[in-house]
Amino acid sequence: MILINNGKIYTMEGEIFDKGCVLTDKGKIIEVGESLPEGKGSEADQVIDVSGMYVIPGLIDAHCHIGMFEDGIGFEGEDGNEMTDPVTPHLRAIDAINPMDMCFREAVEGGITTVVTGPGSANVIGGQFAAVKTVGRRVDDMVLRAPVAVKCAFGENPKRVYSNNKKSPMTRMATAAILREALIKARTYMEKKEKEDHPDKLPEPDIRMEALEKVLKREIPLKAHAHRADDILTALRIAREFDIDITIDHCTEGHKIVDILADEGRGLIIGPSLTSRSKYELKDLTFKTPGILSKAGLEIAIMTDHPVIPIQYLPVCAALAVREGMDEYQALKAITINAAKISGIDDRVGSLKAGKDADLVVFDGHPFNYTTRTRLVMVDGQIVFRRN
């Protein structure tokens, strides 16, 4: 049992305690408040005084590729894009993530305790994302939820990859058609299984279709790579056609269609904004986008797209959004509770609440101050980083 005491606590459940405490036991949060009920905490094995410091939930990156494009290696550590087939929903991030990638340590030291990581955007359907904790030696022990989404991609990337090989898709039309075709095949496969009661007549097992069946049943969303406004709208069109859940990841031109996005009410994951405009669909990249969307009442998350932006700079990205007009508290939500909700993991992480995983970060200043340093990080109730 560990008691974090006397810190300024942002629960991300709407409460801020100027001098509060968090009690954890057996990997879970037991109590959070200005003070503990009488008798609670007296048996704590460790009491840590964090006077003058900020205590917030462990940060969450809702879209990255950590462990799949390993740092400082090159080809040998690049396992995020299977550029041989535009439809690969059966590929699983958990089979490629290397927990020994040094960036997991840097994530922890930066206060990021959960990441949603998976395939890149070379394929129309790239594979299955996973939500994992940033501490561990074996992926199986780090998994919070897998799969958490199936990645699909619109815009320039699939066109560029396959046009170079003289294969489809070479146009946006083909990208959308290939995605529709795969979903129709999966729906037919699913319906055959549901209607057939004789085991000998069931369709042959197909792991590609099994993966997409989870999407069609709304068990997990499509995670759509889309920068340009027209690509965003195509993604939303297909989601409506098949009545499936979808998140719009990147959403670079979301500020151009904010009214439409407000009507749609889908999860939006914005970024990476701390980059150059390396391709045409990034020509209107701006840190103003998160604030514009948030002020329209949309729940958004902010991401790094690591390794595009090193993952430890997630709070820097949120801080720059604040500088460009985003409300400070909403920006903090974008890397904690909103990121958890959009990713479907808010039952366990994203806020400091009794019953949730004991993942928290102690900063020696406001998380958005660039001179602030991480003082302590806890994951599943264990102190995994502490700065003296």
Find the CATH number of the domain harbouring 311: 3.20.20.140
Answer whether 56's CB lies under 8 Å from 332's CB. Answer: yes
Distance CA 191, CA 16 (A): 49
Answer whether 163's CB lies under 8 Å from 155's CB. Answer: no
Answer whether 251's CB lies under 8 Å from 267's CB. Answer: no
Three-state SS at 126: strand
Q: Residues for the chain: how many in total?
A: 388
Q: Which helix (H) or strand (E) holds 175?
A: helix 172-195
Residue 20 domain boundaries: 1-57+350-388
List all residues 6 or more positions away from 62 whose beta carbon is below 8 Å from its beta carbon.
Answer: 116, 249, 269, 301, 302, 303, 339, 342, 343
Site of tokens 């979903």: 183
Residues 49 and 145 in one domain: no
Residues 98 and 228 in one domain: yes
Residues 96 and 221 in one domain: yes
- What pLDDT score was predicted for residue 181? 98
Tens-digit pLDDT profile for residues 136-180: 999 999 999 999 999 999 999 999 999 988 999 999 999 999 999
Structurally, how many domains does the chain consist of? Answer: 2
Residues 82 and 44 in one domain: no
Tell me the average pLDDT across 96-107.
97
Distance CA 378, CA 388 (A): 15
Tens-digit pLDDT profile for residues 192-224: 988 877 777 788 899 999 999 999 999 999 999
Tens-digit pLDDT profile for residues 293-322: 999 999 999 999 999 999 999 999 999 999
Distance CA 316, CA 309 (A): 10
Tell me the average pLDDT across 72-91.
94
Residues 106 and 136 in one domain: yes
Find the CATH number of the domain harbouring 23: 2.30.40.10
What is the percent of the chain where pLDDT is above 70? 99
Residues 165 and 185 in one domain: yes
Residues 342 and 209 in one domain: yes
Distance CA 72, CA 294 (A): 36
Q: Residue 216: exposed, middle, or buried by beta-carbon count in 10 A (0-12, 13-18, 19+)?
A: middle
Site of tokens 């400082």: 72
- Start-end of H helices in the chain: 102-109, 139-142, 156-163, 172-195, 207-216, 229-242, 258-264, 288-295, 314-323, 328-333, 337-343
Tens-digit pLDDT profile for residues 259-290: 999 999 999 999 999 999 999 999 999 999 99
Tell me the average pLDDT across 19-30.
96
Instruction: Compute how many other C-beta atoms are within 10 angstroms of the C-beta atom of residue 226.
Output: 27
pTM above 0.85, yes or no: yes
Sign of CA dihedral 147, 140, 76, 302: positive
Q: Is the pLDDT of residue 41 over 70?
A: no
The CA-CA-CA angle for residues 86, 236, 178, to 5°, reads 20
Mean of pLDDT over the chain = 96
Answer whether 60's CB lies under 8 Å from 115's CB. Answer: yes
Residues 94 and 40 in one domain: no
Residues 33 and 140 in one domain: no
Q: Is the pLDDT of residue 37 over 80?
A: no
Residues 70 and 26 in one domain: no
Residues 100 and 239 in one domain: yes
Tens-digit pLDDT profile for residues 329-350: 999 999 999 999 999 999 999 9
Residues 365 and 232 in one domain: no
List all residues 6 or more positions away from 381 whose beta carbon is below 8 Å from its beta carbon.
Answer: 2, 24, 25, 26, 27, 28, 357, 358
- What pLDDT score was predicted for residue 39? 67
Tell me the average pLDDT across 99-127.
97
- What pLDDT score was predicted for residue 129? 98
- What pLDDT score was predicted for residue 165? 85
Read off the DSSP letter of residue 371: T
Answer whether 48's CB lies under 8 Å from 3's CB. Answer: yes
